[in-house]
């Protein structure tokens, strides 16, 4: 009987304390939308944002840019039904997944953002905005 009770390991080391903060603070089954893994690389003139979204189709992924916030939302639902010759279910499975994540893109040239999705990886190229150079004006003396 005691072998069936759920338990939690409590021998976290110093590094695991940071990784497990959210789970410990909000509880194991919090109601927040899960995040997906993301890598951001600085390529000099631009940033490359790579998001792991395996199992999603390109049509399932939505990108929204508003007030210097880039939101990536992916939603997937799948129904599998197997019925016998009489129309009775042999197996019926349903699966639903939704992921969302937002990024601050201030300092990015929003008109130059491009996106591509291949093999479960969403890649966004985020070109850096050119710094505005103050214009020097000469004033004539009369």
pLDDT digits (tens, 9 = 90+) for 49-71: 999 998 888 999 999 999 989 99
pTM, to two decimals: 0.61
Task: Give domain status of residue 75, yes or no.
Answer: yes
Q: In 3D, which of 32, 68, 39, 70 has the Cα closest to residue 53?
A: 39
Give how many domains the chain has, as a whole number: 1
What tens digit of pLDDT does each residue of 1-39 get?
A: 344 444 455 555 555 655 565 555 554 444 444 578 899
77 within some domain: yes
Q: Is residue 17 part of a domain?
A: no
CA atoms of 10 and 30, how far apart (whole Å): 19
Phi, psi (rounded to 5 degrees) for 26: -95, -10
Look up tokens 């020097």; give the residue: 136
Helix (H) or strand (E) holding 141: none
- Looking at residue 95, which CATH number applies to its domain? 2.60.40.790
Domain hosting residue 81, numbered range: 33-127
């Amino acid at each position: 009987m005691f072998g069936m009770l759920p338990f939690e390991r409590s021998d976290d080391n110093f590094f695991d304390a940071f990784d497990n903060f959210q789970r410990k603070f909000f509880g194991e089954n919090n109601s927040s939308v899960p995040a997906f893994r993301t890598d951001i690389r600085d390529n000099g003139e631009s940033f490359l944002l790579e998001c792991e979204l395996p199992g999603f189709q390109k049509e399932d992924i939505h990108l929204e840019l508003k007030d210097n916030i880039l939101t990536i939302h992916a939603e997937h639902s799948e129904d599998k039904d197997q019925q016998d010759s009489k129309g009775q279910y042999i197996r019926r499975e349903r699966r639903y997944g939704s992921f969302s994540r937002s990024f601050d893109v201030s300092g990015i040239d929003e008109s130059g953002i491009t996106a591509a999705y291949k093999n479960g990886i969403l890649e966004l190229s985020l070109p850096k905005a050119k710094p505005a150079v103050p214009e020097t004006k000469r004033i004539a003396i009369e």
